[in-house]
Structure 1
Amino acid sequence: MNAPSRPAETVTPYRFTYDDVLRMVEAGILAADARIELIEGELISVSPESVPHVRCRRWLTQFFTRRLAEGQWEVNSDAPVRLDDQTAPEPDIAIFSSAVHDRDLKGGDIVLAIEVSVSSQAFDLGRKAELYAAAGVQEYWVVDLTGKRLIVHREPTAGGYRSVWEEGARGGVAPKAFPHLDVRVAELPLTD
């Protein structure tokens, strides 16, 4: 006995835009402090931050804020970056010129984006790295708290970053935009 067959369904998921998300926040559908990112039209739930994650993000924010010329550079922490109409990730840190207003910020304006990674490493090194590169984010770092390493991405292209390498506990790196600011991996608060 054969089971009756059903016609194939064609289901197209709805893709949200950045403006849709803003309207949902304004209408109270989404909380303003909701832990989500808009990635290619999808609302992606973001894991709660661990204590080591918060400590490392705070250390990096203070490191750059104290050393970059006030009024020339913005060091945004946990603010959405609109890469296109359907993608607005929230890097742990995004550094860009003070001449660019937050609402006009594009990927190519960001000289350094940093993600502190505990449980989201595959996403941060995969899909998110591809999105940042395609949007022209000039340099992208992933701080791997578990592996105690820093993965550096440079030379963005539409297909990804051409230059990717890692620095271990004995290494360090200076951002291309700020060659005088050497960040030593051993100095980062990578554990409790």
Structure 2
Amino acid sequence: MNAPGRLAETVAPYRFTYDDVLRMVEAGILAQDARVELIEGELIAVSPESVPHVRCRRWLTQFFTRRLAEGEWEVNAGAPAHLDDQTAPEPDLAIFPSRLHDREVRGSDIVLAIEVSVSSLAFDLGRKAELYAQSGVREYWVVDVPGRRIIVHREPSAGGYRAVQEVGMRGSIAPKAFPHLEIAIVSLPLDD
């Protein structure tokens, strides 16, 4: 017996905005400490932080906080980066001018965004890198903890970052915005 033919129904997902998410948090629908990121209107679950992830993020946060001029630069760890109305990823570290409130910060205001990657390398190097580049984040680092390297993205454009460089354990790197802040990769806590 054949079922009668029927046109397939299409279902369009609802896309959230950054303001929708803020209202959900304020209303208690979404916990303030919920482990999600807003990516192109979708709420994406974020993996729990591992010990190597926390150690590396903490080291980088302290490194930049101690060396950057207080009152001039904000070193924001784990807060949303409002790239557009439907995209607000939470880089492990974002550096932007202190004169801006973190809810006012847009991609082009961020001079350095860092993702510490233990289990999300493909997402961090793929979709997130594209979004950061398209929104004008000037420099984007992915710290590949298992690979013991940093992948540095510079020169953002609508099509992605035009300059990508890998720096391994024997190398060192400094952000373009802060050339005096060189980090030897071997000094990072990249051990499990």
Match of 2:119 in 1: 119
Which residue of the partner structure matches residue 177 of structure 1? 177
Counterpart in the other structure of 1:139: 139
Shift of 1:172: 1.0
2:164 aligned partner: 164
* Correspondence for 1:97: 97
| TM-score, normalised relative to structure 1 | 0.98
Local SS of the residue matching 1:22? helix
- 1:30 paired residue number: 30
Q: What's the offset of the Cα at 1:74?
A: 0.4
Match of 1:51 in 2: 51
Cα offset for 1:116? 0.1
Tell me the matched-pair count.
192
Deviation at residue 103 of structure 1 after TM alignment: 1.9
Cα distance between partner residues in 2 of 1:28 and 1:71: 33
Moved over 6 A (4+): none
Three-state SS of the structure 1 residue aligned to 2:111 is strand
CA distance in 2, matches of 1:125, 1:57: 17
Structure 1 equivalent of residue 68 of structure 2: 68
The two structures, once aligned, show a CA RMSD in angstroms of 0.9
Q: Name the aligned partner's letter for residue 128 of structure 1.
A: K
Deviation by residue 1:41-96 (Cα, 9 ceiling, x = unmatched): 00000000000000000000000001111111000000001000000000000001
The two structures have a TM-score, normalised by structure 2, of 0.98
Measured after TM superposition, the shift of residue 26 of structure 1 is 1.1
Q: Percent identity?
A: 79
SS in 2 for 1:102: coil
Q: Paired residue for 1:129? A: 129
Tell me by how many angstroms 1:165 deviates.
1.1
